[in-house]
Amino acid sequence: MIGSLRGVVLDRLAPAELLLEVGGVGYRITVTPATLATGTPGQPLFVHVHTHVREDAIVLYGFSTADERRCFEALLGAHGVGPGLAVAILSALSPQALRRAVATEDADALVAVPGVGRKTAARLLLELQSRLDLPLDEMPTGGAPAGDAHAEVRAALAGLGYGPDEVRSAVRALPADGSVQDLLTSALRQMAGAR
């Protein structure tokens, strides 16, 4: 898998593609408008890459920041979101704006993206709360702060197979302070009692 590329921009193709030459090989990379704006033909460029493998193609998606790639991959992990929709969302919302929309449960921000309806926006808000690391001051109202320990608990619960809504409810009920082990134990007890 290709994780990053550094080379010279040869050309801007289609509305959202760059041709990047790396060591004599030209790579076609699908990019967001923010990354496209940094790609000037003839100039060097470094992009963080997500390699998407399908039955009929291998497609490279390039991002100017690692954070943008993390958000893209979080979106891909959401039910019903493919690379095209993930790029469309990141074309309309920066990673910070996406986190803010998720944290404040702002469905209107997502509905403004072409291809995202009300139902899809509501589902994305639920699923992304467990997939994105929300800053302490941007946790959904009524919930526990999303400090580092809470982020680790969210990741552990998701890794154990709990759904996004279950994870969100469990993390919201946790105390603000505590070790990862104590918080995870508390969350698991709470979830076992709820089933």
- What was the pLDDT predicted at 5? 95
CA distance 168 to 162: 10
Q: Count Cβ atoms below 10 Å from residue 108 Cβ, excluding itself.
A: 9
- Across 14-123, the runs of DSSP E, i.e. the strands, are 17-22, 25-31, 44-53, 58-63
Counting runs of H as helices and runs of E as strands, what totals does the chain give? Answer: 9, 5
44-53 and 25-31 beta bridge pairing: unpaired
- What was the pLDDT predicted at 186? 87
Please choose, from the candidates 23, 4, 108, 30, the residue with its C-alpha nearest in 3D space to the C-alpha of residue 12.
30
> Tokens in use for 64?
């100017």
- What was the pLDDT predicted at 101? 87
Tell me if the pTM is above 0.95: no
Tens digit of pLDDT at every position of the chain (195 positions) = 889 999 999 999 878 899 999 999 999 999 998 889 888 999 999 999 999 998 898 999 999 999 999 999 999 988 888 999 999 999 999 998 898 888 888 888 899 888 888 898 888 988 888 787 665 444 444 444 445 677 778 777 777 777 767 777 788 788 877 888 888 888 888 888 765
Residue with tokens 């000037």: 40
17-22 and 25-31 beta bridge pairing: antiparallel
Domains and CATH numbers, the chain: 4-64 (2.40.50.140), 66-132 (1.10.150.20), 141-189 (1.10.8)
Please choose, from the candidates 146, 31, 130, the residue with its C-alpha nearest in 3D space to the C-alpha of residue 79.
130
- What was the pLDDT predicted at 195? 59
Q: Could you report the per-residue pLDDT of 66-79, keeping only the tens digit for each?
A: 999 999 999 998 88
- What was the pLDDT predicted at 138? 46
Please choose, from the candidates 74, 148, 133, the residue with its C-alpha nearest in 3D space to the C-alpha of residue 103.
133
CA distance 39 to 33: 10
